[in-house]
Amino acid sequence: MAGADSDIPQEQAQLAIRPPRPSIGRVPTASFIVCTRNRAQALEACIRSIEAASRAHASMASELVVVDNGSTDDTAERLARIAASSSIAIIPVMERRRGLAAARNAGMERSRGRILIFIDDDCEVDLHYLRDLERHYAGGERPVIRGGRVELGNALDLPFTIKRSPEPARFTPDVHPGGFILGCNMTMHREVARRIGRFDERFGAGGILQSAEDTDYLVRAFQLGIPIEYVPDMNVLHYHGRNQREAIERLHRSYSRGNGALCLKHLSGAPWLLRHFCWTFRSAWKELWGGPRFDPEVSLSHWPIVFMNVLGALEFARCAITNRPQPELNQIKQTTRSLTRDPPC
| CB-based contact 228:222 (threshold 8 Å) | yes
User: For each successive 10 residues of the chain (345 residues), what is the average pLDDT?
Assistant: 36 33 67 97 98 96 97 96 95 95 97 97 98 91 92 96 96 96 97 97 95 98 97 98 93 96 96 95 93 83 94 94 58 53 48
Q: Is the pTM of this model over 0.75?
A: yes
Closest C-alpha to 219, from 278, 279, 157, 265? 265
Q: What angle do CA 193, 329, 341 make, to 5 degrees?
A: 35
**pLDDT score, position 295:** 79
> What residue spans in the chain does CATH classification 3.90.550.10 cover?
5-243+325-340
Q: Report how far residue 82's alpha carbon sits from residue 85's, in angstroms, rounded to the nearest whole number.
A: 6
**pLDDT score, position 345:** 40
**pLDDT score, position 14:** 33
Q: Between 3.40.50.300, 3.90.1150.10, 3.40.190.10, 3.90.550.10, what CATH number should domain 5-243+325-340 receive?
A: 3.90.550.10
**pLDDT score, position 5:** 37
